[in-house]
Structure 1
Amino acid sequence: MKLISCLLAATVATAISACGGGGGGDTTNTPVTPVTPVTPVAPTPTPGGGSTGDTSSTQPVKFTDGDTYTYKVERTDFLNGIAASPEVSHYTYTIRNSKSNFEHERIYTAPSRDQQLETYNNNNFQTNIAYAQYGCAMTEGQDGPGFTLKVGHQWDSRYSSKCTKDVTYPSDYHSTGGITAKETIKTEAGDFSAYKAEKSREQKNQSFTSILKSICWHDEKTAMVVACDETYRTTGLDGKTLEHNLKTTLIGINVKNHTTKALTPTVYAGEWQVSFSGTLAGWCNAKISANGDMSGTCRSQDSYSTATGKIAGDGTMRIRSGNYEFSGKLSNSLEVSNTSSGTLPANYSINWTAKHN
């Protein structure tokens, strides 16, 4: 039980500070090539933590509220060297409350998981993460290149985290790394000029010790991760270990200040609550899969019916529930209000609001 408890805590802690969140939700058993652990660079520590290197690089473009980045995560778990079935999941970051100094928030959405709100400072370091039931806060530190994208940039930083509930113990972190190259990376969302950052991070608390080794590529224009290979190795108090390998890839991007645009229905994946009024009045609970299939249950006129449909990468959708079929559009990945009309089975017009859980 001790190992199970500490591994659960380690899983939560991984979500707190993973480069891409780790993504939960719909999973499929798909062969995954395990990530080869990397040897991180060894930067010279800076007194008090922080970074070193030439900081004269050009800063990325500013974030804009509503920008979206959608990722695919391939994960393989190993317990004492034995591999479990690999899983594939997806998640999306939606930017909000962006500021001119690059401070911003990211809303994390994924199939079969509640939203979480992540707060980042002007060095692209995650300072807070809030779930439906609890939240975690980090002291000032650095866990990546931030917005200083230049070959040779390095960091050596110590920081800590504490959560409002006992989902994981308070942890101490030591993160070291640096940018080692600038490369062109091919992803499902397109080709990106990106900076290669190699990192090693140790996490310690009273229940376990976890070592992360990673290589991540950060988009030159936004500093967001476009691809990442990570290996986590967690050891409990009983000496047993859990290792998991993550391969994260950008598969969709819809960013105002970026020349690359790749629309995908996965940006809408997850559970939605829909309410409507007009010719029909009622509500629907719907789920959108990573490939855009929609399913759920609706209630109107004191009766229940199954809802099915399809949504495209640009948000256009067609839904059928009972005898009614209508078209509409989700104009963003979080909350939308709109009006739809149609002729099946008779003339109708409805006002509806959809909210991503």
Structure 2
Amino acid sequence: MSYDLHQRRAGVLLHPTSFPSGKLGDAARWLDFLEATGLSVWQVLPLGVPQDDLSPYQCLSAFAGNPALLDEMEMLDAASGDFRAYCREQHYWLEDYALFRIIKELQQDRAWFQWPEELKWRNHEALAIVSETHADALLELKWEQYQLHNRWQALKQEAHRRNIRLFGDMPIFVAHDSADVWANPKRFLLDEQGLPAWVTGVPPDYFSETGQRWGNPHYDWEYHKEENFDWWVARMRNHFEWFDLVRIDHFRGLQAVWMIDADAGPKADLGPIAIKGADAVDPDFIRTYSRLKAGQAYSPEELTDAANRLRTLKTFDSVVINTGDSLDENGQLPTTITVKDGKFRYFGFG
């Protein structure tokens, strides 16, 4: 259904994770509310699969939806004609996404540029072995996407019946550790190790006196031009399958994006090390074992080494270390270690 730009409308921004259940099972009641109040636009944040920091703007794929939004899922039917048709239609991203998720799990959630060389650079024989050995798991991941796609299309149809339009959000840049960058590194400005040569950011403005370092890899626009911008066309087409309106987040990234030398890093010391997600492991143990300390000079390499050091414990399902986009009141860089506890016995200090 086309969107009438000449019709004046009012709406609400509400991400599905803000529903009482955090799932799409509450969407019908939400549409009831919008219809009853005369609101006819429902805006959401990006619906992708977030990384461990749960930001919807740093996702594992520019195309995949987050299956955690499903309140229920039908049993896998690999023989379903509709499912097979969906896999064919979405093959341009679905196969790479499923492989990426499987390998990432096998590699203890390490980023793709830290994988063994044959997996990192997509050796055909190595990927064939993964595909054959984990065929059932690959099917499950594709089935999740099929189920979510169907659920959202039904929701979209119901919204249209009520004269409600869906307003989506698409980050202009993608996460470095994503299926998109792993599957097609030539589309991005990376070095021979697969690391960004340049990262994204924006100049100082009303919101930030020092500008912002976003840290995403930059696109190789010449390569995209050679491809006739096929990836961008596919990405926009995918979003308009889900939404009536799409916002590219955000305009600042289109109008005045910076190219920042990836090796430069913020010119600041690390601030106090915050710990998130540790329920069974003492936060002081995590800080000590990471060897990161407040006041030490910022170093991307040391942050990577700290994350890998914690992963070698085989205590956590995932480890992510993030720094803030701006300095705190003490002129230091806020630093957070986010972990997801695995199944293990408790240990720590004290």
Instruction: Compare the two structures and name the one with the higher strand fraction.
Output: 1
Instruction: Compare the two structures and name the one with the higher helix fraction.
Output: 2
State TM-score, norm by structure 2: 0.27
State TM-score, norm by structure 1: 0.27
